[in-house]
Amino acid sequence: MQRTLKAPIDCVGTGLHSGKRVAIALRPAPAGHGIVFRRRDLGIDIPARFDWVADTRLCTVLAHPTIAAARVATVEHLMAALAGTGITNAIVEVDGPELPILDGSAASFVFLIDCAGSVEQDQPAACLEVLRRVRVAGADGSYAELLPPPRNAAAEIVPGLSARVAIEFSAPAIGAQAIALHVTPASFRKELAAARTFALFANIEAMRQAGLAKGGSLDNAVVVDGARVLNPSGLRMEREFVRHKLLDAVGDLALAGVVLCATLHAHRAGHALNNRLLRQLLAEPANWRLRDGALPDFLQQPAAPPRAAGASA
Ligand SMILES: [Zn+2]
C-alpha cells in the first residue's frame, strides 16, 4: 500500500557542496501524490522524477526544465530513506538549492521519518516490473543493468529491488568490494541506511577549488587517504563504501516515481549511470509493466524535455 508521513517534521543542516545552512520540512501528502520537492523560497515545486535530473556529477540534482534556478541538489540520500521506509507520498520543503547532508548517510533522514511516523493509505503502491534486460555502460568499464525480478517458489515475482553492486578503487582502504542484497524496509535499515558517503583525500582540494564540497567534513563523510581512513572513529560497518553505493542506487532509482521490481547489477556505477539506466528503461514501453497501482499524479503529466547537459556526464 502507499504510505505517507503521519505528521510534518523539520530539520536544519548544511549543504555538502554549498556549505550553506538549509532548513527542510517533510510533510504528509495524499495518495497518488508521489514525492515532490518544494522550493519554499521560490514557491516552485520540483517532482522527484528521473527526467527532471539535471546533473549527476557528484550528486543527483533535480531541476525545473525551464526555470534553471529552481533546483534541488543531493536528493539521493533522502530519496533512499523515503524509498527504504516505504514512503511513497510526501512533500519535501526546502529553503535553498541543496538538501542538508546531515551525517552523510540516510540514517538521519530515517530517524526524521521515524520521529514523524508513517501511515498506510487507501491505495496500492504501483510496482514497475522490469520485463527484459536494460543495460548502460560507461567508457571506463563501469555498467549498470536492470533485469526482471527474481521469482519465488510459487513463481510469483519478488517485489522490490534485488541488487548486486560492486566497486573498485585503487585506494587500499576501499579496494574491491561487493554486496548482494534484496532491499526491503528491514534490510535497508540494517544493511544500508547508516553507510556514509565517502571521498578520497587527494580529490578534496580539487573539489573545493571547483566550489564544491564546501560543507564536507569528517562529520558527514568518510575520507580515505591510501590505506587509511582519516575519520578518528573509523568505519561504521564493514564494506561501508559499497553499501553507500547501493544506498545511492536505491535513492537514484526511486526517481522512477514508483516502486521498482527488478534485479539490479551494477559495477563501479554512480549517479550518472543510475539515471541513464532509468531513462533507458522507461524510454521503451516493452521494457516494463505497471502492476497493482497507478503512476503518481506528476508522472501522468507530459515528460519534461530531454536534457543533455550534465545528465549523462
Ligand atoms: Zn551518496
pLDDT confidence of residue 291: 84
Q: How far is 1 from 86, CA to CA, in rounded Å?
A: 9
Cα three-residue angle 40-98-312, rounded to 5 degrees: 120
CB atoms within 10 A of CB 14: 19
pLDDT tens string 245-270 = 999 999 999 999 999 999 999 999 99
pLDDT confidence of residue 207: 84
Ligand 1 centroid–CA 176 distance in Å is 18
pLDDT confidence of residue 305: 43
DSSP secondary structure code for residue 204 in this structure? H
Ligand 1 centroid–CA 123 distance in Å is 31
Instruction: Report the predicted TM-score, pTM, of the whole model to 2 decimal places.
Output: 0.93
Catalytic entry in 17, 33, 267, 271: 271
Dig out the grid coordinates for 144 from the structure: 549498470
pLDDT confidence of residue 307: 42
Average pLDDT, the chain: 92
Ligand 1 centroid–CA 203 distance in Å is 16
For residue 109, give the nearest of 213, 10, 215 by alpha carbon.
Answer: 10
Ligand 1 centroid–CA 75 distance in Å is 9
Q: How far is 72 from 91, CA to CA, in rounded Å?
A: 13
Q: How confident is the model at residue 161 (pLDDT cuts 50, 70, 90)?
A: very high
Report the run of H or E that residue 228 belongs to, with start and end: strand 228-229
- Residue 271 catalytic? yes
Q: How confident is the model at residue 205 (pLDDT cuts 50, 70, 90)?
A: confident
For residues 48-64, average pLDDT? 91
